[in-house]
Amino acid sequence: MVVYKAPYDEYEFLFHEVFDVLDLAKRLGHEDLDRDFIRMVMEGWGNYCTEVLLPLNEVGDREGLVFESGEVTMPSGFVDAWKEGVEAGWFATTCRPEHGGMALPQFVRNGVDEIAISANMSLSVVPALGLGVYELVTNHGVQELIDHYGEYLANGHWCGTMCLTEPHAGTDLGIIRTKAVPQDDGSYRVTGTKIFITAGEHDLSENIVHMVLAKTPGAPEGTKGISLFIVPKLLPKDWKSGSVEGLSRELSDARNGVTCSGIEEKMGLHASPTCVLNFDDSVGWLVGELNSGMSLMFEMMNRERLATGMMGLGLGEIAYQNALAWARERRQGRDLKGIRDPSQAADNILVHPDVRRMLLTAKVNNEGCRALGVWVGTLLDQLHSDEDETRERAEALIALLTPVVKAHFTDLGCETTSTCMQVMGGAGYCSEYGVEQFYRDVRISKIWEGTNGIQALDLAGRKITQDLGRNLRYLMWPLAEFIEENRDIPEMAEFNKPLHKGVRGLQQLTLLMISQGMGNPHFLAAGATDYCRYFGNIMLAYMWARMARVCLEHPDSDFHQAKLASARVFFSRIYPETISLGANIQAGHKDLMNYPEAMM
């Protein structure tokens, strides 16, 4: 049986001791937000996830989906669980009050995202997509669209999707063929096929609102000619033509020219429908300006990339908890230094250094990622600051850290779930213990929302050079300031010195990537993935050093001393990977590109 305990205490530590989120919240207008309220929200959401969603996770994996006559039926219990979340208002917590939400800060959303993913990743992606569509509509849609779709998208009565990929166009969206023809009444008729559409068809909600990339007649070539359209599965029952202004939310029985022609059979996420959607003269409305579709969709995509990163953490965390629970009960062999428990036929496997190596690597990477996730959440909130400098800094750091969070968290999530299976031996490979499902489910996270190779190229090829290196400067300043502030604290030396060395290495490798990459883009591309991982390790090192600095002030607290022990594991066992990563980057591209293609 799968076990899971939501990490409330971990978030309390990060929110209130490491990042002081209440001070930030008050500066952003959340004067009534306090520690008790945040904890209450986290625990209420956690109870819903662990009591309602978690028991359905194995059910969904075992039963899968039913696809028949263009319709998808979700596994047993999923529809009722969704309705319970809608009725409780859980999906609207970060949305605007006028749409039934509480406008909670984004740092809270990152925390609840992790818990939902741990409990049931297949279902957790649905509200995440709905929130993405909600934000696009409310930020860029005309008032008629906001009035009609805002509240129902916020509370989960209606769900949402993002429709980008086509059978012939994956990452290269400039060659999409979906067309949107303007009508005299101000609407558009959308025609085309989209593939790999998560939750494109299901019976959780009565309507699904699609965000579709398409080109209008005569649009510029490539991505500059792409526009964004909102295309609902079902139109209002009283809609005849024109906009949806003033229309009821009672829906027509007939589909709006949107049909699902199939769902994918996948390695994991068996309860998450991945659909082929056909748009046949479907009614839609323009969102934002004409030909601005790519920039708008990237707003949603970049937020989803951060959410995808949290998937690596969420499944890594529940895999760790189950591997640890199993290890505490498992007895095999004896401590190599002598019998630990003579009353038993064997010692507990936690006496074995290699078991501890695996479990502590999982634990420490999870906790480092969680800290970085909270920091990025606070940066997302700072985008709404009244201070221009604060917004500019937050924007630069989010741009820089988005590919790192997406790639590094999901890489580690895949490694962690695999490692946790290894801890459990043959039991880890058996479905009854659950961890092998987490391994299968998390694997898509390295592919979703732009593969991790694409994220690495985005980081190395665009984000570090953007605006003459502005993004990187905004990161280097707080890193340098932190290192200098802790230089003369003896207890911080074991954390501060390796961080300083790693930051200097990052600066040198960045200059190398830029200088060599300008002359030969193959050099930059060959080192991009290793550079992204190096960057991720530096960010976790910064998080662990910040956490260590706080914990040194609490010598009598078991919680804080355990955190210090985790920081030491990170710097002694995980962080040295940066040395080999640096060597890989410096090795360049020649051995890769000169290898005879015919011999591959």
Tens-digit pLDDT string for the chain (600 aa):
899 999 999 999 999 999 999 999 999 999 889 999 999 999 999 999 999 999 999 999 999 999 999 999 999 999 999 999 999 999 999 999 999 999 999 999 989 999 999 999 999 999 999 999 999 999 999 999 999 999 999 999 999 999 999 998 766 677 899 999 999 999 999 999 999 999 999 999 999 999 999 999 999 999 999 999 999 999 999 999 999 999 999 999 999 999 999 999 999 999 999 999 999 999 999 999 999 999 999 888 888 999 999 999 999 999 999 999 999 999 999 989 999 989 999 999 999 999 999 999 999 999 999 999 999 999 999 999 999 999 999 999 999 999 999 999 999 999 999 999 999 999 999 999 999 999 999 999 999 989 999 999 999 999 998 887 889 999 999 999 999 999 999 999 999 999 999 999 999 999 999 999 888 999 999 999 999 999 999 999 999 999 999 999 999 999 999 999 999 999 999 999 999 999 999 999 999 999 999 999
Q: What is the pLDDT of residue 467?
A: 81
Taking the domains of the chain in order of start, what are their residue ranges?
8-64+74-137, 160-291, 451-591
Rounded to the nearest 5°, which phi and psi values hold at 276?
A: -100, 120
Interaxial angle between packed helices 558-569 and 521-551, expressed in degrees from 0 to 180 and rounded to the nearest 10: 150
Q: Is the fold of 8-64+74-137 the same as that of 160-291?
A: no
Contact of 223 with 294, CB cutoff 8 Å: yes
Best CA proximity match to 56, nearest among 44, 48, 66: 48
Fold of 8-64+74-137: Butyryl-Coa Dehydrogenase, subunit A; domain 1 (1.10.540)
Residue 386 burial (C-beta neighbours within 10 Å; 0-12, 13-18, 19+): exposed
Q: What is the pLDDT of residue 175?
A: 82
- In sequence order, the 6+-apart residues with CB closer than 8 A to the CB of 15 are 21, 22, 35, 38, 107, 374
Residues paired with residue 231 on neighbouring β-strands, in sequence order: 210
CATH says 160-291 is which class?
mainly beta
Contact of 140 with 109, CB cutoff 8 Å: no
The tally of CA atoms less than 13 A away on the side-chain side of residue 80 is 7
Q: What is the pLDDT of residue 291?
A: 95
Q: What is the pLDDT of residue 170?
A: 64
Q: What is the pLDDT of residue 279?
A: 98
Encoded tokens for 535? 């960057």
Encoded tokens for 24? 């930030």
Q: What is the pLDDT of residue 302?
A: 87
Q: How far is CA 32 from CA 23, 35, 416, 506, in A?
A: 11, 10, 38, 41
Q: How far is CA 550 from CA 16, 19, 371, 481, 553, in A?
A: 11, 10, 13, 16, 6
Best CA proximity match to 229, nearest among 279, 195, 273, 263: 279
Termini Cα distance of the chain: 45
* SS3 call for 251: strand
Selected catalytic residue, list 449, 485, 494, 577: 449
The conformation of residue 427, written as its DSSP 8-state character, comes to G
List the Cα angle 112/543/462 in 5-degree steps.
Answer: 85
Pairing of strands 158-163, 207-215: parallel
Contact of 277 with 200, CB cutoff 8 Å: yes
Q: Is 367 a catalytic residue?
A: no
- Which secondary-structure segment (H or E) carries 44? helix 35-48
